[in-house]
Amino acid sequence: MSTFKSYFTINCYAFTIITLMYSILVKAGLFRPMSVDDVFIYFLMTVSLTILIALIDRLPIRSYMLTSFIRIAGIAAVVFTIGIVFEMFPLEWKYVGPILGMILLTYFAVSALLMIRDQADARAINKQLSQRKLDANQAGGEKHE
């Protein structure tokens, strides 16, 4: 998959997961219902986060754990910056805890979805390669008859 498609997929997964989790927290009475403006702000947030992840991926870091830590720290910084600037939530522990939980859940859910997608892509590629090899063997066998 192309790099753009990968980051676009990350953005779509993150936006969907965040919207669903926020909706659950609204139903639980923790947050106020989401307005149309909030939806656009969350989309701005996920686009910003995806750009940040793309920039972090360009860093010469070989450790997956360190990369994950830097990504999560960067994501938290962006979420809280946009949240404060657009007055999406007050900086009270009542809100900070669930938001940190949403950040972690979203990060690991998106990572898991990407791994599942990558495994499916790898299986599809291996299937095509196996089929080509089988076709080549069958074509080669027919020439000798």
What are the CB-based long-range contacts (under 8 Å, 24+) for 54-58?
A: 54/3, 54/7
Confidence band for 141, pLDDT divided at 50, 70 and 90: low
- Nearest CA-CA partner of 70 in 107, 45, 102, 42: 107
What's the confidence (pLDDT) of residue 45?
A: 92
Cα–Cα dist 110/106, whole Å: 6
pLDDT tens by residue, 40-66: 999 999 999 999 999 999 999 999 999
Mean pLDDT across 70-88: 92
What's the confidence (pLDDT) of residue 51?
A: 95
pLDDT tens by residue, 84-128: 899 888 888 888 988 999 999 999 999 999 999 889 888 988 989
Given a contact cutoff of 8 angstroms between Cβ atoms, the answer to whether 55 and 37 are in contact is no
Domain boundaries, the chain: 3-113
Cα–Cα dist 99/134, whole Å: 52
Mean pLDDT rounded to a whole number for the chain = 89
pTM: 0.78
Mean pLDDT across 2-20: 92
